[in-house]
Amino acid sequence: MSKKKYPKLPDLGARTDEITIFAGPCSVESEEQFDEVAKTCSKLGLHWVRGGAFKPRTNPHSFQGLGEEGLKIMHAGGKKYGLKTLTEVMDSEHISLVQRYCDGIQVGARNFQNFSLLKNIGIATSKTGTMVLFKRGFAGTIAEWLAATEDITQCGNDNVVLCERGLRTFETATRFTLDISAVPVIHKQSLFPICIDVSHPAGQRDLVPSLAKAAVAAGADSLMIEVHPDPASALSDGAQQLTPAQFETLVGELRELAAVFGKKIV
């Protein structure tokens, strides 16, 4: 384990009294779709909106994302509502393209040990200090996760947020098994903030509120929640996405819970 001390992070004040929510659609599908979600985030006083433009799909026949067109939609929506934008980079050749349009870079679970991608992101963001949200692989240990994080930080960018998004276990009642203990373990073993993606482990929208409350209660620094104006028509992950109205209700409940710990949701 590295003993290196990381600085306080500019984008997601690590271990502060703020819990940052990254909400937005699984995939960016159209201007109208993204606009509605971004409008909801801004109305709730959040700072970020997320969306996928390059999608890692298990089946190559599934929707692959709008690519640059999706990035443009995100950029315009973020600008319109004064929100920072977060999107996944799957390939080193897209890093500079994504940096042109978005404020934060997500590394997905499937690229958890794509060391050349991690290093290239570290190099490309070393001057800008762009926030990198680094997801744990669904079969990755915490030690492997922290080791892989150094592939980014050693290249010069310490602005990394770790994101737990569920593990593959024998359990099939949920899509993945959320490792809530990653929160205290990461807090104990590192100085990085930890985000809990509550949508991908749930796989079903009715489970999302409980996981989100558990994450806040456990001390998570951030949450990721997928939101879609019409989940039934979503081109990816429809079953787990909340409607804007459901999301608003949940954020209200999370605010009350966060206040118990002297924290606020942003």
Cβ 167 vs Cβ 177: under 8 Å: yes
For residues 264 and 210, what is the distance between their CA atoms, to the nearest angstrom? 18
CA-based nearest residue to 222, from 193, 189, 181, 186: 193
Beta carbon of residue 55, minimum distance to Mn ion (angstroms, whole number)? 8
Cα–chain center distance at 14: 15
The site partner of 108 among Mn ion, ligand PEP, none (C-beta below 5 to 8 Å per kind) is ligand PEP
> Residues in the site for ligand PEP, rule: CB under 6 A?
26, 52, 56, 108-110, 135, 165, 197, 200
Q: Kindly tell me which of 223 and 263 has the beta carbon lying closer to ligand PEP.
A: 223
For residues 190 and 192, what is the distance between their CA atoms, to the nearest angstrom? 6
Q: Kindly tell me which of 120 and 236 has the beta carbon lying closer to Mn ion.
A: 236
Q: Kindly tell me which of 26 and 254 has the beta carbon lying closer to Mn ion.
A: 26
- Number of residues located near Mn ion, criterion CB under 5 A: 2
Beta carbon of residue 58, minimum distance to Mn ion (angstroms, whole number)? 11
Collapsing DSSP to helix, strand or coil, 163 comes out as strand
- For residue 59 the two structure tokens come to 């089946």
Beta carbon of residue 138, minimum distance to Mn ion (angstroms, whole number)? 13
Consecutive H or E run containing 162: strand 160-164
Q: Does 26 bind Mn ion (CB under 5 A)?
A: yes
Q: Does 237 bind Mn ion (CB under 5 A)?
A: yes
Q: Does 197 bind Mn ion (CB under 5 A)?
A: no
Beta carbon of residue 261, minimum distance to ligand PEP (angstroms, whole number)? 26
Q: Kindly tell me which of 26 and 131 has the beta carbon lying closer to Mn ion.
A: 26
For residues 223 and 246, what is the distance between their CA atoms, to the nearest angstrom? 16
Strand pairing of 160-164 and 18-24? unpaired
Q: Kindly tell me which of 37 and 263 has the beta carbon lying closer to ligand PEP.
A: 37
CA-based nearest residue to 36, from 205, 194, 174, 228: 228
Beta carbon of residue 223, minimum distance to ligand PEP (angstroms, whole number)? 12
Q: What is the binding site for Mn ion (CB under 5 A)? A: 26, 237
